[in-house]
Amino acid sequence: MTSCVALLIAAPASRQGKTTLTAGLARLHARAGRRVQVFKCGPDFLDPYWHELASGRPVYQLDLWINGEQDIRERLHRAAQESDLILIEGVMGLHDGKPSAADIARLLGIPVLCILSAAAMADTFGAVAYGLRHYPHPSGQPLPWAGVLANHVGSERHAGMLSESVVEDHFWGHLPRDAGFSLPERHLGLVVAQEVEDATARLDAVADALAKTALGALPWEPGCGASASASAAAAETGNERQASSWQDWRIAFPAPPKQALPQLLRDRTIAVARDAALCFIYAANLEALHGMGAEVVFFSPLANEALPPCDAVWLPGGYPELHAEALGRATTSRDSMAAHVAAGKPVWAECGGMMLLFERLTQKDGSTQALWGLLPGEVTMQPRLAALGSQQLDWGIGTLRGHTFHHSRCTTPLEPIAHTQRPSTGENVDALYRHGCIMASYFHAWFASNPAVTASLFGASRAP
**Dihedral of CA 450/455/458/459: which sign?**
negative
Lowest mean pLDDT among 185-199, 268-282, 327-341, 450-464: 185-199
* 103 close to 138: Cβ distance less than 8 angstroms: no
- Short-list 306, 311, 320, 322, CA closest to 289: 311
Residue 297 pLDDT class (50, 70, 90 cuts):
very high
Quick: pLDDT tens for 218-262: 999 764 433 333 333 333 333 334 689 999 999 999 998 878 899
Q: Is 52 in the same domain as 114?
A: yes
**Domain boundary residue, one of 206, 226, 253:** 253
Residues 95 and 160 in one domain: yes
Residue 462 belongs to a domain: no
| Amino acid of residue 273 | A
Based on the domain organization, do 283 and 225 belong to the same domain? no
Active-site residue, from 224, 351, 410, 437: 351
Alpha-carbon distance values, 112 to 138, 148, 217, 454 (Å): 18, 9, 18, 35
Q: Is residue 129 part of a domain?
A: yes
Q: What is the predicted pLDDT for the residue at 404? A: 87
Shared domain for 324 and 412, answered yes or no, is yes
Nearest to 253 by CA among 90, 98, 85: 85
- Is 351 a residue of the active site? yes
- pTM for the whole thing? 0.88
Residue 262 maps to a domain? no
Neighbours of 87 (CB within 10 A): 27
Answer yes or no: are the C-beta atoms of 215 and 29 closer than 8 Å. Answer: no
- In this prediction, residues 136-141 reach a mean pLDDT of 88
- The answer to which of 117-131, 171-185, 384-398 has the lowest mean pLDDT is 171-185
- The residues pairing with 52 across neighbouring beta strands, listed in sequence order, are none
Residue 295 and residue 426 in one domain: yes
- Provide the pLDDT confidence category of residue 122 given band limits of 50, 70 and 90: very high
For residue 175, pLDDT beyond 70: yes
The domain tally of the chain equals: 2
Are residues 302 and 442 located together in one domain of the fold? Answer: yes
Domain assignment present for 210:
yes
207 and 277 both lie in a single domain: no
The b/e string for 66-82 (b: 16+ C-beta within 10 A; e otherwise) is bbbeebbbbbbbbbbee
CA distances from 464 to 22, 31, 386, 396 (A): 43, 51, 29, 6
Find the angle CA(434)-CA(435)-CA(438) to the nearest 5 degrees: 75
Instruction: Report helix, strand or coil for 262.
Output: coil
Predicted local confidence at residue 169, as pLDDT: 77
Do 373 and 284 reside in the same domain of the chain? yes
Dist CA 110 CA 369 (whole Å) = 48
- Is residue 305 scored above 90 in pLDDT? yes
Percent of the chain with pLDDT over 70: 90
CA trace torsion 206, 208, 211, 212 (10° rounding): -100
Same-domain status, 185 and 331: no
Q: Quick one: 224 and 301 in the same domain?
A: no
Look at residue 260 and tell me if it is in a domain: no
SS (H, E, C) 339-374: HHHHCCCCEEEECHHHHHHCCEEECCCCCEEECCCC
Q: What is the rounded average pLDDT of the residues 426-432?
A: 91
Whole domain around residue 48: which residue ranges? 2-253
The CATH number of residue 375's host domain is 3.40.50.880
Indicate if the pLDDT at residue 462 is higher than 50: no
Among 193, 222, 253, which residue terminates a domain? Answer: 253
CATH number, domain of 193, equals 3.40.50.300
pLDDT of 198 reads 79
The answer on pLDDT for 401 being more than 60 is yes
Q: Is the peptide bond before 111 cis (omega within 30 degrees of 0)?
A: no
**Chosen domain end from 253, 279, 301:** 253
Q: What is the mean pLDDT of residues 380-387?
A: 76
For the chain, give the percent of residues with pLDDT over 90: 75
In this structure, are 242 and 101 located in the same domain?
yes
Asked if 307 and 439 sit in the same domain, the reply is: yes
- DSSP, collapsed to helix, strand or coil, labels residue 456 as helix
The stretch 27-49 carries a mean pLDDT of 91
395 lies in some domain: yes
Q: How far is CA 439 from CA 166, 312, 463, in A?
A: 54, 11, 11
The per-residue pLDDT of the chain, averaged, comes to 89
Does residue 154 sit within a domain?
yes
List the one residue out of 183, 125, 127 whose CA is nearest residue 159: 125
